[in-house]
Amino acid sequence: MFKNSSVSRRRLLYFGASGLAGAIAVAVAKDRLPMYPSQALDNLTRDFKVAGQTPLKGRATAKGLIYGAASGQDFLASDKKLQASIVRECGILVPENELKWQFLRPRPDVYDFSRSDWLAQFARTHKMLFRGHTLVWYQQLPEWFKEVVNRQNAEKFLVEHITTVTKRYAGQMHSWDVVNEAIEPDDRQKAGLRKSPWLEFLGPDYIELAYRVAAQADPKAMLVYNENALEYSGRKEEVKRTAVLKLLERLKSRGTPIHALGIQSHLVAQEAALNAKKLRSFLSDVASLGLKILITELDVSDQKLPSDPAVRDRIVAGVYEDYLSVVLDEKAVIAVLNWGLSDRHTWLSTFTPRSDGAPVRPLPLDSSFKPKLAWNAMARAFDQARKR
Would you please indicate which residues are annotated as catalytic (active-site) residues? 181, 297
CA 268 from chain centre, in angstroms, equals 12
Of all residues in the shown chain, the one whose CB is closest to ligand G3I is 347
Compute the distance between CA of residue 141 and CA of residue 325 in angstroms, rounded to an integer. Answer: 36
Q: Least Å distance between CB 8 and ligand G3I?
A: 38
Please name the residues in contact with 338: beta carbons below 8 A apart, sequence gap of 6 or more: 68, 69, 70, 297, 298, 299, 363, 364
* Residue 264 contacts ligand G3I per CB under 6 A: yes
Residues 133, 324, 313, 53, CA torsion sign: negative
Residue 196 in contact with ligand G3I, rule: CB under 6 A: no
Cβ(313)–Cβ(360) below 8 Å: no
Comparison of 30 and 354: residue with beta carbon closer to ligand G3I: 354
Report if residue 73 touches ligand G3I, rule: CB under 6 A: no
Based on its alpha-carbon atoms, the radius of gyration of the chain, rounded to whole angstroms, reads 22
Min dist. Cβ of residue 250 to ligand G3I (A): 23
Find residue 66's DSSP bridge partners.
Answer: 335
101 vs 122 by CB, closer to ligand G3I: 101
Q: Name which of 320 and 382 has its Cβ closer to ligand G3I.
A: 320
| Binder among 79, 89, 96, 98 for ligand G3I (CB under 6 A) | 96
71 binds ligand G3I (CB under 6 A): no
Q: How far is the CB of 235 from ligand G3I (least distance, A)?
A: 22
Nearest CB to ligand G3I, comparing residues 8 and 180: 180
| Residue 8 or 303 having the CB closest to ligand G3I | 303
Q: Could you tell me how many residues of this chain bind ligand G3I (CB under 6 A)? A: 9
Q: Is 97 a binder of ligand G3I (CB under 6 A)?
A: yes
Largest distance between two CA atoms of the chain: 73
Residue closer to ligand G3I, measured from CB, 71 or 256: 71
Distance of CA 70 to the CA centre of its chain: 9
**Residues near 27 by beta carbon (within 8 Å), at least 6 away in sequence:** 1, 2, 3, 7, 8, 11, 12
Of residues 167-186, those binding ligand G3I (CB under 6 A)? 180
In angstroms, give the least distance from the CB of 227 to ligand G3I.
Answer: 9
- Of 79, 98, 297, 330, the residue at the interface with ligand G3I (CB under 6 A) is 297
Contact between 347 and ligand G3I per CB under 6 A: yes
Using the minimum distance from each CB to ligand G3I, give the nearer residue, 15 or 75: 75
Q: Smallest distance from the beta carbon of 388 to ligand G3I, in angstroms?
A: 25
| In the complex, least distance from residue 347 CB atom to ligand G3I, rounded to whole angstroms | 3
- What is the nearest approach in angstroms of ligand G3I to the Cβ of residue 96? 5
Is 343 an interacting residue with respect to ligand G3I (CB under 6 A)? no
Interaction pattern, residues 136-165, with ligand G3I; x per rule: CB under 6 A: ---xx-------------------------
Contact 48, 376 (CB under 8 A): yes
The binding site for ligand G3I (CB under 6 A) comprises 96-97, 139-140, 180, 228, 264, 297, 347
